[in-house]
Amino acid sequence: MFGLIGHSSSFAQAQEKARDLGLEEMAEADLLSWCSAPPQLLETFEVTSKTGKTIQGTYIDSCFVPEMLSRFKTATRKVQNAMELAQKNGINVTALGGFTSIIFENYDLSKFQQIRNTTLEWERFTTGNTHTAWVICQQVETEAPRLGIDLKRATVAVVGATGDIGSAVCRWLQRRGVGELLLVARRPQPLIDLQQSLGEGRILALEEALPEADVVVWVASLPQSLEIDTASLKKPCLMIDGGYPKNLDAKVAGHGVHVLKGGIVEFWQDIGWQMMEVAEMENPKRQLFACFAEAMLLEFEGIHTNFSWGRNNISLANMELIGEASLRHGFRAIGLGSARSSSDNSGLELAAA
C-alpha cells in the first residue's frame, strides 16, 4: 500500500473541505483550533497500472494550511504527526506533497526520528522530488520545440537552481545539451557551488536572467511584491511553473508568454478518488502532482525506500529509472493544452510560487 500526505491550499479551503465531509465543528473552528487538529486518513482507493497491476493507496490530510508556515513548531509537528499516522497504518511508501515536503527539507526533520513512542522508519517516506524533476524536464523538452524554441540554442533560466528539484533539472538539461543555463537563486555560495559542480552556467539575478531566457523553469518561492515587465521577455517564452501553489499562469501576462503547470502528470485512466478536486486540476480524476505519483510508482515497482530524500541527492540514473517506470505504468507529463497564454502586455506582480 502507498500513501499520500497533503494539505489544503488555504485555511478557507480547509474549512470548506471539512464542511463537505460533514465536520461542522472543524468547519467553524478558528485557525488556532486547526493548529492542534490531528491528521486525518480521508480516503482509500485503488489504482491500476497500464500493465494491469492494481495497488491500494490512502490519502492523509495533515490538517496543515499555509497560514501556519510562520509557526515553526506547528508546521513541523503537522508533518511529523502525518508521517506517524502513515507508518502506524502500515503504509509501505508515502509521498510528502505540497508544503509538507518543503517543511521536511527546510527544517531538516530527518534529525527528529522519534515522534512520541514511534520511531519513524525513513525508508517508508519519499519527497517525490525525483519524479517531479524528471517530469519538469520532459515538459521542457516536449513543449519548447512546439513553440519553435530550439533547446540546443536556447537560453534556459532555472529559478531556484540550488534547490533539490532545481539542481536536478540543471544537471539533466546540461546533459541534454541546452544552449546555455542561467542559474538563479537567493544565496550566493550555493550558486557558486552548483556552478562549479556543473562546470558551466551563468549566475544572474532574476531581473537580469528573465529578459535573456527562452525558457524559464520556476522552482522557487517568490515574493508577492516582485514585479516583472512582460514586455522585456522573449517571445515566444516558455515558463514552467514548478512551484506550489501553481499560480504563475494567472499572474504572468504577455502575448507569446506560455505558462505550463510544472510537475503535473496525467494517468491513463480515471482514479476513484476525491483528493484532487481541491487541487484545482483540470481533470482531477486523472491529473495529480508528480511527487504523489512517485509513491504510486515505487509501490508498482516494489521499491520500498526513501527514493527521494534530503537535498541535492537526486541522481540522473534515478531520474531515468523513475521516468521509465512512469511511462510504463501509464503516466504522462501534461502539456500546454492545460496551460494558458495571455495577451496583456502590462507589468505584473508575481505571487509566491
DSSP 3-state of 233 = coil
Q: Note the pLDDT tens digit of each residue in 123-165.
A: 999 999 999 999 999 999 999 999 999 999 999 999 999 999 9
Give the Cα separation of 13 and 15 in Å (integer). Answer: 5
Those residues whose C-beta lies under 8 Å from the C-beta of residue 8, and which sit 6 or more positions away, are 14, 17, 61, 65, 278
Q: How would residue 188 be classed by pLDDT, with cut points 50, 70 and 90?
A: very high
Q: Indicate the DSSP class of residue 350.
A: P
What is the rounded distance in angstroms from the CA atom of residue 128 to the CA atom of residue 145?
27
Percent of the chain exceeding pLDDT 90 equals 72
The mean predicted confidence, pLDDT, of the chain is: 89
> What confidence tier does 340 reach under pLDDT thresholds 50, 70, 90?
very low
pLDDT tens digit string along 87-133?
999 999 999 988 888 888 777 888 889 999 999 999 999 999 999 99
Q: Within a 13 Å sphere around the CA of 142, how many CA atoms are in the beta-carbon half?
A: 15
What's the longest Cα–Cα distance across the chain? 58
Of 276, 269, 302, 246, the C-alpha closest to 59 is: 276
- Can you tell me the distance from the alpha carbon of 115 to that of 120, in angstroms, rounded to the nearest whole number? 7
CA distances from 94 to 8, 158, 333 (A): 18, 28, 21
Kind plus residue range of the DSSP H or E element containing 72: helix 72-88
Contact 124, 153 (CB under 8 A): no
Residue 346 reports pLDDT greater than 90: no
Please tell me whether the peptide bond between 245 and the residue prior to it is cis, using omega within 30 degrees of 0.
Answer: yes
CA distances from 301 to 93, 266, 320 (A): 11, 19, 14
pLDDT in the model for residue 22 = 83
Q: Terminus-to-terminus CA distance in the chain, angstroms?
A: 31
Q: What percent of the chain has pLDDT over 70?
A: 92
**pTM (2 d.p.):** 0.91
Structural domains for the chain: 1-126+265-333 (no CATH), 130-262+335-349 (3.40.50.720)
